[in-house]
Structure 1
Amino acid sequence: MVRKTEDFVTGTTIATDVVVVGAGPIGISTALELAKSGVEVALVESGLERTDDMAQALASFDSRQDDIFHARSDLTVRRAVGGASALWGGRCVAFDPIDFEDRPLTALAPWPIRHKDIEPYMQRACDWVQCGQAAFNARDIPEIAQNDLVAGLPDGDVRTTDLERWALPTRFGREYRDALHNTPSLSMWTGLTCTEIVSGECGDSVDHLVVKTLDGREGKVVANDYVIATGGLEATRLLLASDRHHPGGLGNAGGHLGHWYMAHTEGRFARVKFNTDNVIYEHERDRDGVYVRRRFTFSPQLQRELEIPNSATWLVNPPISDPGHGSGILSGVYLTLISPVGRFLLAEAIREAHTKTDGKPQIAQHVRNIVRDLFPSIRFAITFSYARLLRRGRKAPGFFIKSADNRYLLHYHGEHLPHWESRVELTDERDALGMRKVRTHMHFSDADYESAHKAIDLIDAHLRANGAGNVEWLTDDPEAAVRDFMHGFAGYHQAGTTRMSETAEGGVVDGNLQVHGVRGLYVASTSVLPTSSQANPTLIGIALGVRLAERLANARLAGRTDDSGSA
């Protein structure tokens, strides 16, 4: 059942068993998992079922934001039912077992759980995002197991069989609308913003949540358990702002709240030249029709031996905004994306990333490319438009152009090492509901930049050793190229600022996502991740939410059994 702001008057108290704050992918999956187990759930969402400018404005960063690395809030946060799933391309990647190990490289950010604790929930997470089976290596998928990224190139310490999977892409607000409206034990309140978590005077439990409508009507939510699933920055902001009985914010006994902010280190500063044209340069599909894509990755043994961050590197098209690529297909895509139609074809963050250019668009040169390549360009426009827009079921997540000379640009996507000075903090500026805004300070160290260089060096050595090709560097200073690439490109993957830890001295939440020292208060967000892996964090965030939902539901079942006197 959906309850709208018209149903909410000043002084309203919403009473429920569990309240989930935030209807993004993690919040929706957690709430529905609980409700399907018979738990009474209230799902509270700041935005509406459609995009609303007033709600979105509440997510804006401080106007004095001076973080050169962080992308704008309108590209990284969406206040609406479905949350950031309205902004993503659908790429789904699993964290690796080594991410959970105690590594010297991440000694300042130890995990309180291990891979075995989260692995049982990965298939359910894949089901929620609709990316198929939880299989992330080509050798585990019979229909593509015998194929190699490059003919004759074996896996070793450098591997080419690890996969990313692609969701539909799944827009959670649209895909789960019927379930949110019709699940009997779930009530969803839209247009209702949680502005404070109020603890009791002793500070060890939650008394209630303060909630406000967009026009300022105020009430509260009272529950047995409180799950904050508002996204990485917003969850951190809410804990920091809830300082009535906890100076510095809830869960900040160890001083970690807001610190250790992580994204990913990314760059495009090299290309690969293969010695054969027998290359899988585009997506493959598994037996369920799910799109998958291969990447260069490193064995855990090599990562331990060299003490390098976890990373993945994959083949990409040359920059479509530069007509020097000479491709009529790429020029046609570029002109389409910068046209008014382009905003309807891609999430804005992805569209901007693909179309950015240092100067004015070179329209005439792109048109010349199309004219020279007219018939292939027309054929591509027809076939890709069908695969991307018209075909029933899964849509093509993207396209790749075969290189005539077997050269492909490389995209590096690496673990962002935890740094104390990389942080989120409250400012004195307030939003329309009186809540303090946040300012980010995204920090990347020399080690982050150097790790990208080292990773491509290792790929080069592997290719040469197996006679498969070599890397060609596009710059004499790869570290500087990564630093430049990251300007305005971080903050899409928000991790670390409410991180898990064994004790309150080491972090904000425990291994079960409960805020240290505050009974019944949980954070289900990518912000709880102590390290960032090579992977996009949405999938593991959903898996953690499903795990939490199971734990809360089982606790209620056990309580009912005890109350009945049964064994």
Structure 2
Amino acid sequence: MHIDARNIDNNSLIEGDICIVGSGAAGISMALEWLNTPYKVILLEGGGFEYESRMQDLYKGKVTGQRYYPLESARLHYFGGTTGHWAGFCSPFDPVDFKERDWVPHSGWPIKREDLDPYYARAHKNLDLGPYEYDVKYWQDKDPELTSLPFNDKAVFNKIWQFSPPTRFGTKYRDTIVKAPNIHLYTYANVTDITANESVTAIKEVTVKNFAGKQHTVRAKQFIIACCSIQNARLLLASNKQAPKGLGNQNDNVGRYFMEHLEIKSAELWLTKPQELKLYQWDWGVKHRAELAISEELQRKYRILNGTASLTPLEIAKTHTPMIDLWSADTAKTNAFMHADQEKAKKEKSFKSYKAFELFTRVEQAPNPDSRVTLENEKDALGVPRATLHWELTPLEKHSLRSIYKIIGEQMGISATGRVRLMDYLQDENDNAWPSFTGGGWHHMGTTRMADDPKKGVVDANCKVHGIANLYMAGASCYATAAAPNPTLTLTALTIRLADHLKEKVKQSV
């Protein structure tokens, strides 16, 4: 069922059992888990079904620290959310990503990789992925041409990625959500405030507003905030009339530990003879490929973060403009960059042999409490303080990049297959500066991080905000560490896990 919140009476009271705020990958995945149940689900979307500049402006904010993309371009504010321009890259986190690592400050999750495995498998269906198989041998058995570089897998292994078409949630799931009798989708229902009970131990209601001048109240038994990492933190911080520091922020953790993936060209791989390396090449329409990853054993030995290296033929890579220089505030409107990239890739499509490849890194950012989201004095058109993102890196990221390519280079030398040449910015081990082309993957994570101890995080192992009985956060904002893979598969799995937990909780309350 769909209701346009601009067209109902002002100051309407909307009531249900479950209230989901946000309709991106997390919000829609959560709603899908409640289809055909006896519970009334309220799904609140701030925008409509298409891009609108006025809606997108609500995401505008300030950026300080490391150079970053305009905030209003990094997330889409309409039904389907940022799946409207994602590229579909999916791979699960490694077991080491969930562990406390003594060389990575603030690392460690209250759950393990095996806790997510059944939910990863279920998330594959939402994202239109293939079988839940990430063992390179499985794919090589299907295609003998997927030959591997001759690495010792105790040092460097082939980490498999699978690729969603990519699934546009707003397109694929619109009819399912709108036609569901127990799902009540409200568009143009921007949540501007959250109200708790007198003791601030449970949420009573949320306030929604829109540009038609309408304001409504939504009440439910359980609330799930699924607005993306920056907006999740922003909403908690802005809901400060009862808790001066913001809801869930008694230990000043809301908004902290913002993480991105550093995505940056780092080195060149020169082979002794040309090779096709089909296993490592990617193009639009390809279902899977491998990237080079470092074993847990060597991550521990070299005390480095988790990261992967992808291979692009050097003659093609040299024609690519750095992402940080391409992605502007206007790009979100047209998806021009993504569409242009697809067309360019189709023209370049040719799995032929090459001798030289660019090594492009995707490496996790170390959890850093000073990399954070705070509120500005300026307010948006609906009266909510805008967000400021301070993106701050540490020396560990650059140490990790150097070490990753030292390990890969050693393996190339041992096998006499080729050599690795580091880019200039990685040559000096005492230089922690970053080049102008340093960019991120638009992968916002961490601002309501998961931890058993309320002093170390915002939500518990079930994504419930510490100290508030019925308030949950969904999406990558719950990540304690970023790992190397793109976040969508894991955030979808984590959301399905949260849905199962809530179903049990609701059953027990009856």
Give the TM-score taking structure 2 as reference length.
Answer: 0.91
1:553 CA displacement:
1.7
Q: For residue 229 of structure 1, what is the aligned residue in structure 2? A: 226
Q: Distance in 2 between matches of 1:212 and 1:498?
A: 24
Aligned pairs for 1:342-381 (under 5 A) are 347-348=335-336, 350=338
Structure 2 counterparts to residues 157-176 of structure 1, below 5 A? 157-176=154-173
Match of residue 410 from structure 2:
461
**C-alpha distance in 1 between matches for 2:437 and 2:98:** 26
The letter of the residue matching 1:312 is T
Q: Distance in 1 between matches of 2:134 and 2:317?
A: 32
Alignment of 1:13-28 (within 5 A): 13-28=13-28
Over 3 Å counting, the alpha-carbon distance change for 1:233 and 1:30 in structure 2 is same
**What displacement does 1:507 show?**
0.8
SS of the residue aligned with 1:240? helix
Between the aligned partners of 2:437 and 2:466, the Cα distance in structure 1 is 34
Measured after TM superposition, the shift of residue 252 of structure 1 is 1.0
Greater Cα shift, 260-269 or 413-422: 260-269
Shift of 1:31: 1.0
Q: CA offset at residue 106 of structure 1?
A: 2.8
Between Structure 1 and Structure 2, whose CA radius of gyration is higher?
A: 1
Matched, 1:43 2:43: yes
1:222 & 1:455 partners in 2: Cα distance? 50
Q: Find the counterpart in structure 2 of residue 213 from structure 1.
A: 210
Question: Matches of residues 321-400 of structure 1 in structure 2 within 5 Å?
Answer: 347-348=335-336, 350=338, 384=346, 399=349
Q: Is the 8 A contact 1:422 1:443 kept in 2?
A: yes
Q: CA deviation at 1:141?
A: 3.3
Per the TM alignment, residue 38 of structure 1 is displaced from its structure 2 partner at its CA by 3.9
* Higher alpha-carbon deviation: 8-17 or 433-442: 8-17
SS across alignment from 2:103: helix
Larger % of helix: which?
Answer: 1
| TM-score, structure 1 as length reference | 0.82
Separation in 2, partners of 1:250, 1:438: 16
CA deviations over 1:446-491 (Å, ceiling 9, x no partner): 221121111011100011111221112332645769822554x237
1:552 matched to 2:502 = yes
Percentage identity across paired residues of the two chains: 27
CA contact (8 A) 2:6 2:210 kept: no
* Residue 484 in structure 1 maps to residue 435 in structure 2: yes
Is the Cα–Cα contact under 8 Å of residues 76 and 332 in structure 2 kept in the other structure? no
Instruction: Give the Cα separation in 2 of the matches to 1:314 and 1:121.
Output: 27
Normalized per residue, the structure richer in strand is: 2
User: Which of residues 183, 186, 194 is equivalent to 2:191?
Assistant: 194
Root mean square deviation of aligned Cα: 2.9
Change in 2 beyond 3 A, CA 1:551/1:344 = closer
How has the CA–CA distance of structure 1 residues 111 and 80 changed in structure 2, closer, same or farther, with 3 Å as cutoff?
same
Distance 2:124 2:450 in 1: 23
Equivalent position to 2:383, from 414, 434, 438: 434
Residue matched to 2:424 = 475
Q: 1:83 to 1:556 in 2, by over 3 A?
A: same
Q: Per-residue CA shift, 1:359-386, capped at 9, x if unaligned?
A: xxxxxxxxxxxxxxxxxxxxx98x936x
State the partner residue of 2:174. 177
* Structure 1 match to 2:450: 500
Q: Could you tell me whether the CA contact under 8 Å between 2:6 and 2:188 is conserved in 1?
A: no
Aligned partner (choices 124, 135, 141) of residue 133 of structure 2:
135
CA distance in 2, matches of 1:528, 1:188: 24
Residue equivalent to 2:309: 313
In 1, the alpha carbon distance for the partners of 2:175 and 2:385 equals 35
Q: Match for residue 100 of structure 1?
A: 98
Number of residue-to-residue matches in the alignment: 499
Conserved 8 A contact 2:66-2:393: no
Which segment is superposed worse, 200-209 or 301-310? 301-310
Shift of 1:144: 4.0
- Bigger mean CA offset, 228-237 vs 32-41: 32-41
**Residue 422 of structure 2 corresponds to residue 422 of structure 1:** no
Q: CA deviation at 1:46?
A: 0.5
1:315 aligned counterpart, secondary structure: strand
Structure 1 residues 290 and 266 mapped into 2: Cα distance closer, same or farther (>3 Å)? closer
d(CA) in 2 for partners of 1:320 and 1:280?
Answer: 15
